[in-house]
Structure 1
């Protein structure tokens, strides 16, 4: 168990700055997930914490100790890689205990630690197999077990499930969630999969171009994104964004004329002048399809209908706008059929031209 403080670090490769000045704190026994698009710097940040990449400035503290200049083995950190990185000529038993052998740990303790890790990961019956005799999920569990046996102060996991098929990803996600509770350790997990982030994290760190956009609990980020980037990154299908213009602001409410052909009133948290170009955001599950109710009505035609069983995703074309609707009642619409959409004002977000959210969320106001 350990705390982690990252203080004003920068990382450059020659003239290229991949991480501008960045700070982050991770609490003891917290499961912190780093998410963001490819190239945003999340794996680089993880490698910096592990000591595999050197920083150009700033410092990294583990439990208050500055480890910035320490070599990886001295930091007390274990890392699970995307590629498993198992020794092909060693069986599972030896793979999991080899790091302890290098550290000259007594044989009896190695055996005990490997046995405990194998039991928690359901690998008891595979200890004498070699990696080529294991499935992808089993290999990933061996890689995690190798980290567990070292009893590190920090667990770092770099997209550990990305090489698995869909079913194995779900199974391993459940395994990691179970281990999270059993190990009671500090974990930092990198992924581009928002389902993993939303289901596993105590806190999510959303990164973009080497910078942190927002940090918070999963539902906090989902419901209260600070800007358009965070709002669009979290959620599947992604949030809908509709272009509009503010025609009037009165008593903290903006009247927005949508290019999709409707007027909507949105409560403001921050001022925005009349005449401003804005974007209205609404999640697919909040758009009402062929319903009477609150909010302006927009007509359009179903362009693509994706029936997934429990849900149907309807892609509705309105002029130049494409609006995705998530309909849990799984109506069997036909492509080209005309539909009516409603946007409940309480579920709408408003973003100014720079991407900052300016709307006041109903949930936030109620909580206050």
Structure 2
């Protein structure tokens, strides 16, 4: 596949690199993973930053590195503790893949993150972007690290009208970075592109008058910066109606359930819940029947204490939240636990069920 970049010859590469890197050195944000060039910390930060805002990631990153300061610590950690450290960040397959890959680094590479594209790309969960970020930022190797920010910047700088939502478009932007990247300081170059996309060359209303590479930008020169990048919308999300319950036994302990080891939110804990497929099943007696037939729990539902919505990338959960009790002959197992509210802090719950717990505690105060 031959990729042509028609506008790249219009760029003064040396001046572009200088303007971009000088701006970054003066304007970069003070972020904890930038304090050194430790490939492990850069790796953790890049995995956390996928689909998550920088401000959200900072406290999670600090806690994660405090709990697992080295590759060895993360490789040897219990999965439940790792999930607890990640609790609230979402997309939990990211941290499972990270731990699997870290174990491989410990066993196969003596705990040292590989510094070549072939080996690092072979690690679980390490795609082209993460590989490029680690290689360039930690090891100073001129590899592209192309994410949404970088594609947006280059679609404007080079006036590229390819749809960035298509996976095939990534090759075009990787080629652009390879042709323009600084070989003297690839670390600063790639970080500067990410920073430019985050702070200046934003998705809407880019701050062109503040941009350090404005005079190199074809999109600005043509007046089309607000029309770029081209990005088709994703398919509509699916709505799922759930009924979930905070169920107590006679000793005031709450029943919680561990989700399956594969699939959405794998191995995280939740309150018992059932999916409502038909409008009639919103009836309380129907929901009680669903609990018995789906989960094999005999429950007594008391009242509905609220409704919650939780949005995933591909679906929306609409949750009716109940309180109630469950039949005393129900037995604990690996998947089902009776826990006090204090003990609940030791278990990793998805955000949707953290919201549910907060709702329950607020209602208890009323």
Give the TM-score of the pair, scaled to structure 1: 0.28
Give the TM-score of the pair, scaled to structure 2: 0.28
Higher helix share: 2
